[in-house]
Amino acid sequence: MRGFEIVRPDTMEQAIELLADGDPGVRPFSGGTALMQMMKTGVFVPDRLVCLKGLAKDHSGISVDDAGGLRIGAMATLSTLERDPQVAAHAPVIARTMKALANVRVRNVAAVGGALSHGDPHMDLPPVLAALDAVAELRGPSGSREVPVAELYTGYYETVLKPGELVAGVIIPPAAGAVTVYRKTTSRTADDWPMVGVAASLELAGGQVVRVRVIVSAATSKLQRMTAAEAALTGQAAGQEAFEAAARLAAEECDVIEDAHGSARYKTALVGIEVRRALQQASGGEAAA
């Protein structure tokens, strides 16, 4: 491996300035868990790495606003999400999901901003945040903007982030009466990368579905929201028949890719199974992820 430079800015503004020219040999990193793997395999050969650890003091906090929304700083670690009482109270699906994400060593260093900006469709956190209608706060040379997490990705390892833009935090609106679950199927251990990930959020009133979000990841090249399944389910009586119909639509709608984890045909079948199971869990208020 050839030599490279590491710089450590103390503020978000300094980090943005170091990244603003869009040089492909320059990358930011927070925990670095994914980036180090890319470097080890030669997928990425850096000229300069911008270490964001100096931003942790200002961008790792977790708070609840007056409306009941949850704000998470980009430098908060995944272990922090797993243990934080505010996360457990306002978005318990996040805390549950973290327990089966990689291992404690990874969760201790991996940060929210990196998990969102890396663009790997196998990440567990992005689909969960998308199902919660979370919004990513981006900061760059042109200022700040907000992008729904569900719209953050454009393709495999591709995001809408512009040169110099960084994820500064995530804002999760109040859940109201919705219950959100996340399910994943892995080809190896339970905490491994998923071959299929499904996050579903369901709000019921009088036994009818009044709001639903269904997000599929890992089997696809990017997060995909199952809009046809959501539209068909909204207004219907919650139950096995409606959930099975929505699951069939999701399997048809999903742009499944074939990879080392399984064939497209196999993963398409899994999408339908996991969507149905996720909706069933959410309708019963089940906590199992």
Report d(CA 229, CA 279) in Å as an integer. 11
* Comma-separated ranges of CATH 3.30.43.10 domains in the chain: 5-55
Query: pLDDT tens, 185-222?
Result: 998 888 888 999 999 999 999 999 999 999 999 999 99
Supply 199's token pair.
Answer: 């996050």
Low-confidence ranges of the chain (pLDDT < 70): 1, 285-289
**What is the pLDDT at residue 1?**
60
Global pTM value: 0.95
CA dist 65 and 200 (Å) reads: 24
pLDDT tens digits for 226-239? 999 999 999 999 99
Query: pLDDT at position 55, please?
Result: 97
Residues of the chain with CATH 3.30.465.10: 57-172
Q: What is the CATH number of domain 5-55?
A: 3.30.43.10
Architecture of domain 179-283: 2-Layer Sandwich (3.30)
pLDDT value of residue 288: 41
Contact between 17 and 8 (Cβ < 8 Å): no
**Segments of the chain assigned to CATH 3.30.390.50:** 179-283
Q: What's the pLDDT score for residue 289?
A: 37
Q: What pLDDT score does 286 carry?
A: 61
CATH topology for 57-172? 3.30.465
pLDDT for the residue numbered 188: 87
Long-range contact set of residues 273-276: C-beta below 8 Å, sequence gap at least 24: 273/247, 274/183, 274/184, 274/185, 274/196, 274/198, 275/198, 275/200, 275/214, 275/216, 275/226, 275/229, 275/243, 275/246, 275/247, 275/250, 275/251, 276/243, 276/244, 276/246, 276/247
